[in-house]
Amino acid sequence: PVGKVTHYYGKSEVAIVELAAPLKVGDKIKFEGHGSDFEQTVGSMEVEHEAVKEAKKGNVVGLKVAQKVREGAMVLMVE
């Protein structure tokens, strides 16, 4: 797994993800579990409210998501 969703903000459609592996803009990811099951390409990502192109393992990032995700959903890399 790339990470785990720790929070979701519905109004801004942003998922907060605690990373277990590096992630960068352009990566294809999948949200799975807790009623979430969809794939998307990372379009924009923020760390501490600053836009970043890539984030390291251990970072907590905000990701713009295409659909609602629930806390606890896993984030997986799509080959």
* Predicted structure pTM score: 0.94
CA distance 11 to 4: 20
Please report, as a single letter, which amino acid is at residue 6.
T
14 neighbors 8 (Cβ within 8 angstroms): yes
Q: What is the pLDDT of residues 19-71, one digit of tens each?
A: 999 999 999 999 999 888 999 999 999 999 999 999 999 999 999 999 999 99
CA distance 36 to 78: 15
